[in-house]
Amino acid sequence: MRSLVQRVLTSPAAGLLMVILLLGTILTLFAGAHVDRRTGQEVNNFLNSNTLVQTATDASFFAIMAVGATFVIISGGIDLSVGSVYALTGVTMALVLRALGPSSGLATVLIGLAISVSVGLVCGILNGLMVVGLPVHPFVITLGTMWILRGLAFVISRAESILVPASLTAMAKASLGLTASLYPVPMLMMIAAAILGMLYLERTVMGRHIFALGGNPEASRFAGLRLGRIQMGVFVVSGLTASLAAFLGASFYGSASCGDAAGYELYVIASAVVGGASLTGGKGSAISAMLGALLIVLIRQSIRTLHLDQNYEWIVIGCAIIIAVVLDQGSARVAARRLVAAPTGGTR
Amino acid sequence: MTEPRRAAPWALAALAAVLAACSGAPPSPAPSSGEASPAAAGAAGGKRKIKIALIAKSSTNPVFLAARSGAEAAAKELGPKSGVEIEVAWLTPPQEDGQVQAQRIAQAVNEGADAIVISCSDAGKVTGAINDAVGRGLSVMTFDSDAPQSKRFTFYGVDDLKTGQATMAELATQMGGKGKVAVLQGNQNAPNLQKRVQGVREEAAKHPGLEIVGVFPNIETPQDAAAEVIRVNNAYPEIQGWAMVGGWPLFTRTLLDEIDPKRMKIVAVDALPVELPYVEKGLAPVLLAQPVYLWGYVGVSTIVDKLVLNKTVPERIPMELVRVSKDNLGQWAQQLKAWGFSDVPEKYLQMGASPK
């Protein structure tokens, strides 16, 4: 039991969680307060249910994508096309639903979800096939598909912003018994995606194979792992999470356009990296990727809550990412030195 | 021993602490009033205060920086006159993103804003958030680019269809009613720009001698826009005129050196200080200026009218375009200077000071 507690407390996720709590405390102290016009009560500008749920909602779309991207990063690859998969999924779903015309609320949600998953699946398979079949780094392949898929979204949508049926928005903005102005669905989906990702990565043989591939591809090959299948699988997961995020995003905001999620791939990768994923592969965590996304959104939020000039947003986020990566690489070097220095049969 | 990996989150926390230390936010400035509407009632014993969130499309576009100046000037000027303290919170995303705008609207609501003034990058994306804000008691108005299906109480801006028509009509005049024309569109998703392009097309159809070779979208940064114009000119050497529904490429001096004004004419919407040499040189003989400073100024004054002075506000407040040519270049330069633009070239100011 003590060992379990110790493991939890010393895990990178616990560290991130504590940082988020610390940052939250700082924001609470410095945010100031206002009078809620509905209740007449004084509320803290940060520590109130609406802001907290809103922050989680803002993070949820790229946190869900970050869970999938973490699979790819752990395997030693990278997926730059997630933002474009998001845009293509959104406009395809919106166009198909518009063409189908009105149907019942549940049917609309199910059809929308099916279309989204299908688009994500196709995009993931496309990426996976090219990464496995062509002797080109995933960076280049997904850089190409990033433009191709965004272009497809542009062509089929004719650059229109396409409204989605109101029943989808009602689903994504369901208050689930909370105050009418709280919308917890994206946040819950984010948590569910992160838990599922964690269970897959850490509790299944297939998940361990992904770590093995990223940690040492040669050893994995000699161990008889089917590397192509694993690579295909991680890109499919990445496509699926991007499409799930798009389904939620288009539903929540009520429309989809070809410009959606432009540049989000960088936030997604940053979330995974801040969450401890190593770009050289073999390391990463779905839960930490979600926390990384939350932390990035919280940093963005803090710039506004603290009344700082928001023109500094990119600088601050850039600094945060560099700090995380530099320290991560330092960690890898220290670990390598310890491994060399350890006596035979040394502990991990 | 603490591994560097464990230290990473703490380093980020330190960064956050530095941010907090740099913060200009007051530690706990909550008004003590228990009234339902702070704007209407104000804090007991203190000056009434209203907080207006200004959400433009992009904080890298100079026209929106002018709007910010206008909003801040209006707050400074109208606050004492109306007996309220007006705070303008600039919540514009760094780049155009309707989704981020929707998030900023929610943030403004959660942080106790009384009103929102927004130019919508994507009406579909922000309509739900605007309606939520109105549902929670905020007054929301749009400027520049509307969200007509939303519950905003008014829109302030030009008639985009007419703006497009006027742009093409001016270009047709400059080109003698004949020749090949390209249209620069900006962000394809912006409904106001789509409307302007529609106006350009409608007007072009009235001139049989004019042919539109293409409508070209561009990233709305000066360099990207100028590069797009150069690319299109190289691909279509027969182009003799450009109808630009926004002035993005003219925010650099690139095209002054690249295009011969005897061979090509440009008519563009907007006339910021940096664009004035194009008028002087004759490359852009006419610019149709939106008084962009007024987006912010009228935005704030309209909110004051509604929230403080309880005036009735019409559903649409029309903005008139200003035709800028060599004839009124100096006067326009003076106007820009008066609005707080610090980069108006001195020679144009002198033209305005001593008209011919």
CA distance B84 to chain A (A): 16
Q: Classify burial at A334, counting beta carbons within 10 Å of its beta carbon; exposed 0-12, middle 13-18, buried 19 or more.
A: middle
CB contact (8 A) between residue A35 and residue B34: yes
Report the length, in residues, of chain A.
348
Interface test with B, best of A21, A49, A162, A257 (most B CBs within 10 A): A257
Q: In the prediction, which pLDDT does A313 show? A: 79
Quick one: closest CA in A to B28, which residue? A32
Question: CB of B10 within 8 Å of any CB in chain A?
Answer: yes
CA nearest neighbour of B270 among B344, B163, B194, B180: B163
User: Is B188's CB within 8 Å of A154's CB?
Assistant: yes
- Residue A310 to residue B91, Cβ atoms within 8 A: yes
For chain A, give the mean pLDDT.
88
Residues of chain A in contact with residue B29, where contact means CB-CB under 8 angstroms, are 32-33
Q: Which residue of B has its CA nearest to A56?
A: B103
Q: Please name the residue that has the structure tokens 């994923």.
A: A277
Which residues, numbered 316 to 345 in chain B, qualify as contacts with chain A under a Cβ-Cβ cut-off of 8 Å?
A: none
Once rounded to an integer, what is the mean pLDDT over residues B283-311?
95
**pLDDT band, very low/low/confident/very high, at A300 (cuts 50, 70, 90):** confident
pLDDT at A194 over 80: yes
Model confidence at B14, pLDDT cuts 50, 70, 90, reads low
Phi, psi of A145 (to 5 degrees): -70, -25
pLDDT of A288 above 60:
yes
Conformation bin of residue A275: beta by default, left when phi > 0, alpha when psi is -120 to 50: alpha
B158-194 pLDDT, tens digit per residue, is 999 999 999 999 999 999 999 999 999 988 777 788 8
Residue in the structure block whose two tokens are 């997926």: A79
CB contact (8 A) between residue A295 and residue B137 = no
Chain A contact for B40, CB < 8 A?
no
Residue B17's contacts (CB-CB under 8 Å, 6 or more residues apart) are A26
User: Is residue B34 less than 8 Å (CB to CB) from chain A?
Assistant: yes
pLDDT at position B3 over 50:
no
Structure confidence at residue B246 (pLDDT): 92
Contacts of A27 in chain B (CB under 8 A): 20
Rounded-to-integer distance, Cα A223 and Cα A233, Å: 18
Q: Which residue of chain B comes nearest to A30, CA vs CA?
A: B27
Question: Contact A32/B28, CB-based, under 8 Å?
Answer: yes
**According to the model, what pLDDT value does residue B21 have?**
55
Per cent of chain A over pLDDT 90 is 58
Tell which of B60, B61, B64, B99 to mutate to test the A interface (max A CBs under 10 Å): B99
Query: Could you tell me if B315 lies within 8 Å of chain A, comparing CB atoms?
Result: no
* Cβ-defined contact of A32 to B136 (cutoff 8 Å): no
Are A33 and B29 within 8 A, CB to CB? Answer: yes
- Going by their DSSP bridges, the two strands B139-143 and B179-186 should be labelled as unpaired
Residue A163: is it exposed, middle or buried by C-beta count within 10 angstroms (0-12/13-18/19+)?
buried
Name the band, by pLDDT with cuts 50, 70 and 90, for residue B24: very low
B317 residue type, one letter? I
Residues 173-232 of B with CB under 8 A from A: 187-189, 191, 194, 217
> B116-159 pLDDT, tens per residue?
999 999 889 999 999 999 999 999 999 999 999 999 999 999 99
Helices A227-253 and B98-110: angle between axes, nearest 10 degrees: 60
* Separation between Cα atoms, residue B170 and residue B288, nearest integer Å: 9
Looking at the predicted structure, is the pLDDT value of residue B27 above 70?
no
Cα dihedral B93, B97, B102, B105, rounded to 10, equals 20
Q: In this prediction, does ipTM exceed 0.95?
A: no
B26 touches A: beta carbon within 8 Å: yes
Q: Cβ of B112 under 8 Å from any chain A Cβ?
A: yes
Q: Which residue has the tokens 């095209």?
A: B255
Report the percent of chain A where pLDDT is more than 70.
Answer: 93
- Whole-angstrom distance, CA of residue B246 vs CA of residue B223: 14
**Residue B191 pLDDT:** 79
Distance of CA A252 to the CA centre of its chain: 17
* Distance in angstroms (rounded) separating the CA atoms of residues A14 and A16: 5
| Interface test with chain A among B3, B5, B50, by most A beta carbons within 10 Å | B5
Find the CB nearest B136 among A38, A57, A163. Answer: A38
Secondary-structure breakdown of chain B: helix, strand, coil percentages, each rounded to the nearest 5: 45, 20, 35
End-to-end CA distance of chain A: 19
For residues A248 and A185, the answer to whether their CB atoms sit within 8 Å is: yes
Kindly determine whether residue A32 and residue B4, on different chains, have CB atoms separated by under 8 Å: no
Statement: residue B17 has pLDDT above 70: no
**In this complex, which of A41, A42, A50 lies closest to B110 when CB atoms are compared?**
A50
Burial A178-191 (b: 16+ CB within 10 A, else e): eeebbbbbbbebbb
Q: Between these two residues, B226 and A10, which has the higher pLDDT value? A: B226
Please give the pLDDT value at position A108: 94
The answer to whether residue B1 neighbours chain A at the CB level (below 8 Å) is no
Q: Do B20 and A306 lie within an 8 Å CB cutoff?
A: yes
Per-residue confidence band for B28, with pLDDT thresholds at 50, 70 and 90:
very low
CB contact under 8 A, B112 and A35: yes
Which of A22, A249, A314 is opposite residue B13, by nearest beta carbon?
A22
Task: Name the band, by pLDDT with cuts 50, 70 and 90, for residue B279.
Answer: very high
Residues of B in contact with A153 (CB under 8 A): none
CA distance from start to end of chain B: 79
Please tell me which residue of chain B has the smallest CA distance to A94: B124
Contact B5 A327 (CB under 8 A): yes
Q: Do A331 and B3 touch (CB under 8 A)?
A: yes
Q: Average pLDDT, stretch A45-55?
A: 89
Mutate to test the interface with B, among A8, A9, A37 (most CBs of B within 10 A): A37
DSSP letters spanning B117-169: EE--S-HHHHHHHHHHHHHTT-EEEEESS--TTS--SEEEE--HHHHHHHHHH
Q: Looking at beta carbons, which residues of chain A come within 8 Å of B132?
A: 181
